[in-house]
Amino acid sequence: MSLPGSTVQVPTTGVTPASHGARAHLFTAGTVEDYRRVLAEGIGRVATRMAEVDRPFTGVTPDELVPRIAGIDLDRPLGDSGAALDELHDVYLRDAVYFHHPRYLAHLNCPVVIPALLGEAVLTAVNSSLDTWDQSAGGTLIERRLIDWTADRIGLGPAADGIFTSGGTQSNLQAMLLAREETCANLVGRTTERQSRPELLSRLRIITSAAGHFSVQKAAKLLGLGADAVVTVPTDADRRMRTADLAREIARCREEGLAVMAVVATAGTTDFGTIDPLPQIADICAAAGVWLHVDAAYGCGLLVSPTRRHLLDGIERADSVTVDYHKSFFQPVSSSALLVRDRRVLRHATWHADYLNPARMVEQRIPNQVDKSIQTTRRFDALKLWLTLRIMGPDAVGELFDEVVDRAAAAWQLLSGDPRFEVVTRSQLSTVVFRYLPAAAGREVVDDANLYAREALAASGAGLVAGTKVDGAHYLKLTLLNPETTMDDIAHVLDLIAEHAGWYAQTRATAELSCPVG
C-alpha cells in the first residue's frame, strides 16, 4: 500500500518478519537465535586470538595501520558477521595490545576476570540505562548495593553514598565539583561581603602532592578555576605527600585570603604506587575544616586484600573517595565509582528535568541514580562487579591483587641488586620505576638510551613497559597487574631493555668518538 501522492511503501500488516532486511539485525524476541550464533562466533574469534597471542604487541606502526583502516568503505557493509570479523582481525584483533599477556608490564591496565566479561555481555544486551528507575529497575538497586558495599569496605559511615562513573578522571572531576560547591556555599554563608562567582572561583585552591594524578589539574580547569588553582606540595623520599608542607600550604593560603576547597591525597600514585600518609592528612584537613578527597583509583584493590587492607588506614575519614575497579579489581573498562561520606553533597550534581526526573519522584521515593551523576544515559557497569563478587567473591579478587603486589616487591629486589640498573622508591603497590645506567655515560645519553630501549622493546613486541620522568630525568616503569607475570618474565624483559639501551649507548659513544662534537 502507498500513501496518496507518495511513492513511500508502508507495510500492510504493520509487522515485518524478523528475518527481513535491516530488522534482522535488531536484537528482539524474533532474533535470539542470531544473537546466540553471532555472539558465539565473535567470542570464538577472540578466544582463538587470546590463546595464540605469543607477545603483548605485534609492534605494528600507525603508518601500517592507517591505510588499512582508511581503506575500508563504511558505506558498503559486508553483510555478514563472519566477513566483518575477518576484516576486524586485520584492522584490530591481530595487532591489539593484549593486557592478559604476562609481558605486558606498562600501564595501569589489568587482565580481566571472566565473571566480569559475563556481566559485560549481559549488560550490553539488555542495555539498561541507569539514569532512572523506569529505564533500569533492578539495575538501579544493584548499583546501590555495590556503592553501599564499597562505602562499607572504606568505612565511610551510615550517611555514605556514591555513583558509578566512567573512570578515575570522571570520579575525581565530580569530587572536585562537589568540593567546589560545598566550599562556595560555606564561603558565601560566612561573609556579608558580596562576591561575584568568578571572584569566588579565583580564590579557590586544591592541594595535592607532586605525585598526584593529572586529572586533578584537568578537573580544576573544567571547573572554571584559575590556572594556579592546583597547588602541589613536595613528596618525601618515598614519594608520599610531605604533611608538614601540606599544613604550611593551607596556612599560607589562609594568610593570602585564598580558600582551600580540597586536599587530594593519593592512595596509590600512578608512577610510584605509594600511598600518602592518610591519617596525618585527615588530621590536618579536620583541623583546617578542609574537604579531603582520597584518589584511590589504583590502591582501591587493597579494600579486598586479605593481607594489606591496613595500608589504606585513614581512608575512612575522607569526604570523598575515587575507586577504579577497572584497575585493581580486574574489571573491564569502564568501571569506577565516586563515594561520598555525606549523601547530601550529591545534590550538587542534581538537575530536575520534566521529561526524566521531575522533583516529585523524590517525594514519591522512586529510586533514581541520575540525580547523583554528571551523566544522563549511563552504562550498567556495576553488573560486572556484581557478578565478580557473586561468582568469585571479594577475597579471590584481593588475592589476585596481593599476588601482583608481592611480584612488584620481588622485582624491586631484583633491580636493586642488579648493577645495570638504578631503581627508585619501593612501591607499596605494584609499580617499579627504574632506569638502565650505561657505564660512564652523561645524563643526556642515559635519558636517550632509556627512551630508545622502551621504543625498541615495544617495536619488537616482546614486552611493553611504560616511561615517566623523575626529577626531570627519563625513567622506565613496570606496572604489574597480571598475576601470571613471573619473575622469569620480568628478568627477561629487563635483559632486553639492557640490551637495547646498552646498544644505543655504545653506538652513540662510537659515533661521538669518530665524529667528536666541536
Which span (91-99, 168-176, 340-348, 437-445) binds ligand PLP, by CB under 6 A?
168-176
Instruction: Kindly state the helix (H) or strand (E) to which residue 322 belongs, with its residue range.
Output: strand 320-324
Three-state SS string over 431-482 comes to: EEEEEECCCCCCHHHHHHHHHHHHHHHHHHCCCEEEEEEECCEEEEEEECCC
Q: Is 239 in the site for ligand PLP (CB under 6 A)?
A: no
- The residue (of 173 and 490) whose beta carbon lies closer to ligand PLP is 173
Which span (44-52, 162-170, 185-193, 230-238) binds ligand PLP, by CB under 6 A?
162-170
Taking the C-alpha atoms of residue 383 and residue 129, their distance in angstroms, rounded to an integer, is 12
Q: How far is the CB of 428 from ligand PLP (least distance, A)?
A: 13
Backbone angles phi, psi at 57, to 5 degrees: -155, 145
Q: How far is the CB of 50 from ligand PLP (least distance, A)?
A: 23
Q: Is 295 in the site for ligand PLP (CB under 6 A)?
A: yes
Alpha carbon dihedral 220, 226, 227, 228, in 10-degree steps, equals -90
Q: Is 167 in the site for ligand PLP (CB under 6 A)?
A: yes
Bridge partner list, 241: 235
Residue among 101, 153, 213, 384 that touches ligand PLP (CB under 6 A): 213
Q: Is 324 in the site for ligand PLP (CB under 6 A)?
A: yes
Q: How far is the CB of 11 from ligand PLP (least distance, A)?
A: 46
Which span (163-171, 179-187, 449-457, 506-514) binds ligand PLP, by CB under 6 A?
163-171
Residue count at the site for ligand PLP (CB under 6 A)? 15
Q: How far is the CB of 244 from ligand PLP (least distance, A)?
A: 23
Contact status, residue 261 vs residue 250, Cβ threshold 8 Å = no
Of 435-494, which residues contact ligand PLP (CB under 6 A)?
A: none
Residue among 135, 140, 209, 215 that touches ligand PLP (CB under 6 A): 215
Q: Is 427 in the site for ligand PLP (CB under 6 A)?
A: no
Residue among 136, 140, 169, 368 that touches ligand PLP (CB under 6 A): 169
Burial of 354 (0-12, 13-18, 19+ CB in 10 A): exposed
Q: How far is the CB of 293 from ligand PLP (least distance, A)?
A: 11
- The residue (of 253 and 263) whose beta carbon lies closer to ligand PLP is 263
DSSP 8-state code for residue 91: I
Q: Is 274 in the site for ligand PLP (CB under 6 A)?
A: no
Q: Is 368 in the site for ligand PLP (CB under 6 A)?
A: no
Residue type at position 498: A
Residue among 140, 266, 331, 357 that touches ligand PLP (CB under 6 A): 266
* Per-residue binder mask for ligand PLP (CB under 6 A), 18-37, x = binder: --------------------
Which span (165-173, 196-204, 243-251, 428-436) binds ligand PLP, by CB under 6 A?
165-173
Strands 464-470 and 104-105: parallel
- CA distances 15 to 29, 31, 197, 317, 423, Å, are 13, 14, 57, 59, 68
Bridge partner list, 205: 260
Taking the C-alpha atoms of residue 475 and residue 431, their distance in angstroms, rounded to an integer, is 12
Contact status, residue 293 vs residue 262, Cβ threshold 8 Å = yes
Residue among 331, 336, 427, 450 that touches ligand PLP (CB under 6 A): 336
Helices 215-222 & 168-190 angle (0-180, nearest 10): 50
Q: How far is the CB of 308 from ligand PLP (least distance, A)?
A: 17
- Chain centre to alpha carbon of residue 91: 25
Neighbours of 419 (CB within 10 A): 7
At residue 264, the 3 state secondary structure works out as strand
Output the residue with the shortest Cβ distance to ligand PLP.
168
Q: Is 168 in the site for ligand PLP (CB under 6 A)?
A: yes
Residue among 150, 174, 235, 270 that touches ligand PLP (CB under 6 A): 270
Contact status, residue 494 vs residue 457, Cβ threshold 8 Å = no
Cα torsion angle, 457, 463, 464, 465, sign = negative
Q: How far is the CB of 426 from ligand PLP (least distance, A)?
A: 18
- The residue (of 295 and 381) whose beta carbon lies closer to ligand PLP is 295
- The residue (of 128 and 174) whose beta carbon lies closer to ligand PLP is 174
- The residue (of 31 and 166) whose beta carbon lies closer to ligand PLP is 166
Q: Is 108 in the site for ligand PLP (CB under 6 A)?
A: yes
Neighbours of 68 (CB within 10 A): 14
Q: Is 425 in the site for ligand PLP (CB under 6 A)?
A: no
Taking the C-alpha atoms of residue 287 and residue 284, their distance in angstroms, rounded to an integer, is 5
Residue among 98, 133, 272, 298 that touches ligand PLP (CB under 6 A): 298
Chain residues that interact with ligand PLP, rule: CB under 6 A? 108, 167-169, 172, 213, 215, 266, 268, 270, 295, 297-298, 324, 336
